[in-house]
Amino acid sequence: MKQTKKIPLDLGKNSYDIFIGEEIIDQVGLFLKDLSFKGRVAVVTDPKVEGLYGSRVKKSLKKAGFKFILIQIPAGERYKTLKQINRIYDSLIQNHFERSDLLLALGGGVIGDMTGFAAATYLRGVSFVQCPTTVLAQVDASIGGKTGVDHPEGKNLIGAFHQPRFVCSDPAVLRTLQKREYRSGLAEVVKYGVIADEAFFGYLETHSKAIRDLDLEKVRHCIHRASQIKAEIVQADEHEGGIRKILNYGHTIGHAVETLTGYRKVKHGEGVAMGMVAASRLAVELGLLHEDDVKRQVKLLTAFGLPTRLPDLDPGDILEVMAGDKKVVGGEIYFVLPKNIGSVDVMKVDKKVLKRFLKALPKYV
């Protein structure tokens, strides 16, 4: 087994470690044992991931002496609903799960968000752990305790903060992702370079082909650095009252695109890629950013096979969805806008300015 790296996330009583290493998916049971956990485990996953990695996780749990059950829910953002959360509750209740037991999320960001929300709300809160199997989940969704489900009017409008006991990220599992799914997750990796680390952004530019082609050494570094940045930000602001808001770079318009396309046509990372380019162009319009920094982002996202242009959507519809976003404060829409590569600000943007900008956005494509 390759060397395992550990990133500690210091949140007082909610502190935990992020483990990163190839083949560590086979060590989940040992990690639980090291925590002196003695309860039962409910492995929550989807049919595809269960077929790929379920046996390895179950073997690890069995070897460590844990009793477990398996709960399958459908894959995909459109199933990230309260109806599916009820399916998890039903299984837990039928199997008499108690507060001393634990949920294990095995899958991508949707599985992680839903498992965490079920854990946060079942019996008013039980423990859970994250075993993310996508790039998006490893660098973003599994870290920081954001859990929840979507609503027809918007993404992640129903949820809770509930930190996992640990995160177990195995870059080797990314080999089984479809190319589109893998590349979609790279948008979140690019995000970290723009919001916090120009040197990391430069690393992504230099090694874009190797990363796109899933060179594990380069990808492992990406997962580790992005996770470090996320951990540092979450440590400073666990409940998104301040600096943690910068993690939403590209998400305001990106989420609107996902919502308006019914969570079917555009993957989350693709929406974020479009949203980052739109936000950076807005920053240029507002005199915050140089056009060259927009071009660098477009070039890198394109190298990763990601879209940089919004689909043909009505600007008024985009604005309406953004107005219902959970990040709206006092009816005002806030954007994360870059000042340069490696630094961003959170700013209120007037709705009239936004509407004019969205109508004019096609001139850029």
In angstroms, rounded to a whole number, what is the distance separating the alpha carbons of residues 156 and 103?
20
Set 183, 220, 225, 268: catalytic member: 268
| 43 strand-pairing partners | 70, 104
Q: What are phi and psi of 136, to 5 degrees?
A: -55, -45
pTM of the shown model: 0.95
Per-residue pLDDT of the chain (365 residues; tens, 9 = 90+): 568 999 999 999 999 999 999 999 999 999 999 999 999 999 999 999 999 999 999 999 999 999 999 999 998 899 999 999 999 999 999 999 999 999 999 999 999 999 999 999 999 999 999 999 999 999 999 999 999 999 988 889 999 999 999 999 999 999 999 999 999 999 999 999 999 999 999 999 999 999 999 999 999 999 999 999 999 999 999 999 999 999 999 999 999 999 999 988 999 999 999 999 999 999 999 999 999 999 999 999 999 999 999 998 999 999 999 988 777 888 889 999 999 999 999 999 999 999 999 988 865 54
Set 240, 285, 320, 355: catalytic member: 240
Q: Is 80 a catalytic residue?
A: no
Set 58, 146, 225, 267: catalytic member: 146
User: What pLDDT does 362 receive?
Assistant: 67
Tokens 């060179």 appear where? 215
Set 230, 267, 281, 296: catalytic member: 230
Q: Is 98 a catalytic residue?
A: no
Q: Which tokens in the block code for residue 276? A: 């980052």
Q: Is 267 a catalytic residue?
A: no
In angstroms, rounded to a whole number, what is the distance separating the alpha carbons of residues 252 and 319?
10
Q: Is 285 a catalytic residue?
A: no
Return the domain boundaries, the chain: 5-176, 181-364
Q: Is 146 a catalytic residue?
A: yes
Q: Which tokens in the block code for residue 174? A: 């990314």
User: What pLDDT does 85 receive?
Assistant: 98
| 42 strand-pairing partners | 69, 103
Q: Is 188 a catalytic residue?
A: yes
Alpha carbons within 13 angstroms on the beta-carbon side of residue 98 total 4
The CATH architecture to which 5-176 belongs is 3-Layer(aba) Sandwich (3.40)
H or E element, residue 358: helix 351-360
User: What pLDDT does 159 receive?
Assistant: 96
Name the residue type at position 345: D
Q: What are phi and psi of 158, to 5 degrees?
A: -120, 120
Set 50, 77, 248, 258: catalytic member: 248
Classify residue 5 as exposed, middle or buried by CB count within 10 Å of its CB (0-12, 13-18, 19+). Answer: middle
Of 155, 139, 265, which Cα lies nearest the Cα of 191? Answer: 139
Set 13, 96, 124, 352: catalytic member: 124
How many residues in total does the chain contain? 365
Q: Is 270 a catalytic residue?
A: no
Give the CATH class of 181-364.
Answer: mainly alpha
Q: Is 240 a catalytic residue?
A: yes
H or E element, residue 181: helix 179-196
Set 50, 58, 155, 188: catalytic member: 188
Pick left, alpha or beta for residue 156 (phi over 0 → left; psi -120 to 50 → alpha; otherwise beta): left
In angstroms, rounded to a whole number, what is the distance separating the alpha carbons of residues 104 and 106?
6
Set 162, 183, 218, 244: catalytic member: 244
Q: Is 175 a catalytic residue?
A: no
Set 58, 162, 218, 251: catalytic member: 251
Q: Is 230 a catalytic residue?
A: yes
